[in-house]
Amino acid sequence: MKKLDEAQLLLDKAQSFEHKIEDKQKLLFFKARYHDAVGQLLMEEGKYQEALKEFILVNKLSKEANSERYFSIYMDSYIALCYQKLGDLKKSIFYGERSYKVGLYAESRWKIKNSLLLSEVYEESGQFKKAFEYLKKYKNHIKENEEQAVANLESNLAIENFTQKNEQEKASYQQEKLIKQQEIKNQRWWLFSIAAALLSSVVFLYFLYRNNQQKHKANTVLENTLTGLKSTQAQLIQSEKMASLGELTAGIAHEIQNPLNFVINFSELSKEMAEELLEEAQKPEIDKALISGIATDIVENQEKINHHGNRASSIVKGMLEHSRSSSGKKELTDINALAAEYLRLAYHGLRAKDKSFNADFKTHFDSNLPKVEVVSQDIGRVLLNLINNAFQAVAEKEKLGLEGYKPGLVVATQKTAKGIEISITDNGPGIPDEIKDKIFQPFFTTKDTGKGTGLGLSLAYDIVKAHGGELTVNSGLGEGSEFIISLLKKS
């Protein structure tokens, strides 16, 4: 009733009876109950550190009194709540889990209370998966409690009906002898039945209202949790995308340098030729053959400048397409050209970060490969991720200094009955059988902390699935790895 002053007076009065208890076990039990009440009073007053000491003392006393089972469920729950309020989430989770496990065999209110507490504590500690798990348990316990309330109500109604039937038979049996008296009893009975029915209805409606409020609160918490998880997921996907963009940038820088060098060289050469042309034009006697030859060379130079300028422009355009969000529009794509482009960019990207790295990479492209309808930007990301992983794997194996080992990678394509296959094969360290089933799971990574998000292969797997294809792996420890992308051709 929140009358804390009166509660304190009654606790003081209760303590005065302590010296009258002679039996040791009863005395220990009395002390445990007393300190239990003191702890709850302190908790109501917001004194969680002091309340925690009382509850820990209760646990000790209950063990000595062989009454641990009586106190353990709610004592551990109160201790977990105090640690939550004090900010020690690790200890709060420990006592909350212990109370929940014991509470599974107790009243449903402790299952509800402890599952909700654990959901809140796990959420505060950032363990959203566990928070969501206990939130679902909380919802299930609420549902069980509702079903039990309905079952109890039905049982009470059955007892009332049975009692009413007996009373009616008894009234019929004594009707001739006690007509007037029976009429009075019947009137009282009906008044009592109406009152009982009204009371039962009020109680039932109260439980429905309370459970509805609890379900509404649980749904609100669940919606907020899911919103947070979706936001976190979007941030992680963006981080993975930017990481792949960073790896691509180094390769693009190398690729774009070649056409820019050609543009610079041919521009300088054209300038010299133009100056020579002007010099010849100012002479009294013009050498038409020389002028014609210089002009022809300038035209050829301009064509080469245009060609290499367009090459640089296409590389920049590809980089911009990779960095922006996918349009999701599928178009017929030459997979051989796409694979060759990303293979070259991935290799030069790794070389830009590690000048000592070198690998023998080859392509075995099916010349009869049909074009397939895909989102080329997304499939490009898949290829870049798989090729980068392969290069990194052979680079790691090379660092072991194995005699006669030479890093190697093969990107191949072939036409199949249903579409096409793209395979990326390396002679790296391979994948152990115990983790082979986990590599496509989100956040699973074998890389050192800070070197991988664990989302690369997961996103690649989802992109291929979204195209109606499959991404599979063949690998053995020490035997290298082969990743196969299967895509359906346009029907």
In Å, how far from its chain's centre is CA 140? 22
So what's the pLDDT on residue 452?
A: 56
Burial of residue 248 (CB within 10 Å: 0-12, 13-18, 19+) is buried
Question: pLDDT value at position 106?
Answer: 65
What is the three-class DSSP state of 373? strand
d(CA 289, CA 283): 14
Contacts of 83 (CB under 8 A, 6+ apart): 52, 89, 91, 92, 95
Distance CA 119, CA 129 (A): 10
**What phi, psi does 169 have (nearest 5°)?**
-65, -40
Q: What is the pLDDT of residues 458-469, one digit of tens each?
A: 888 989 998 899
In the block, residue with structure tokens 């130079």: 301
pTM above 0.75, yes or no: no
The SS3 call for residue 6 is helix
- The token pair at 148 is 């039990």
What's the pLDDT score for residue 482? Answer: 94
Q: What does the alpha-carbon distance between residue 138 and residue 140 come to, in Å, rounded to a whole number? A: 5
Residue 339 has a pLDDT of: 93
Tens of pLDDT along 311-369?
777 666 655 554 554 556 888 999 999 999 989 888 888 887 788 888 899 999 999 99
**Residue spans of the chain under pLDDT 50:** 155, 158-159, 162-163, 322, 325, 449-450
Which DSSP letter does residue 280 get?
H
